[in-house]
Amino acid sequence: MTPLLVALGGGTGAILRYLTDRRVQSWRDSAFPWGTLTVNIAGSLILGVLTGWALYSDLPGTLRSLLTVGFCGGLTTFSTFGYETLRLFTEKARLYAVVNVVVTVVAGLAAAGAGILLAVLIWA
């Protein structure tokens, strides 16, 4: 049953990632990967909240698999982040490439930390 829930969550997250990426990129006329940055930061925040929920309450294992491994795993994307960063670098947009790495790592960690803090405020 758990693999099915992970697949369901992953499919849902991947579809939301695609739709979010397309919407965000349509708002910006830029080579910078704003859509991927958006989903990775949002996914980090959501995963932080879910982690805090799991730490401070009884989050059932099946629900945790559905939401963390499945949904957040499908929503966020390290491979696209890597590809887009290398694309920026090879297309001579090196400053964008460096900014993408720094902002993704710093904002992703900050979002995950904020999510855990939010969960602590709610469930602790």
The DSSP-derived string for the chain is -HHHHHHHHHHHHHHHHHHHHHHHHHH--SSS-HHHHHHHHHHHHHHHHHHHHHHHS---HHHHIIIIIIIIHHH--HHHHHHHHHHHHHTT-HHHHHHHHHHHHHHHHHHHHHHHHHHHHHH-
pLDDT of residue 15: 98
Tokens representing residue 44 in the block: 């980090």
pLDDT by residue (tens digit) across 38-76? Answer: 999 999 999 999 999 999 888 899 999 999 999 999 999
pLDDT of residue 124: 84
- What's the number of domains the chain is made of? 1
Give the mean model confidence (pLDDT) for residues 13-19: 98
Mean pLDDT taken over the chain: 96
Domain encompassing residue 47: 2-123
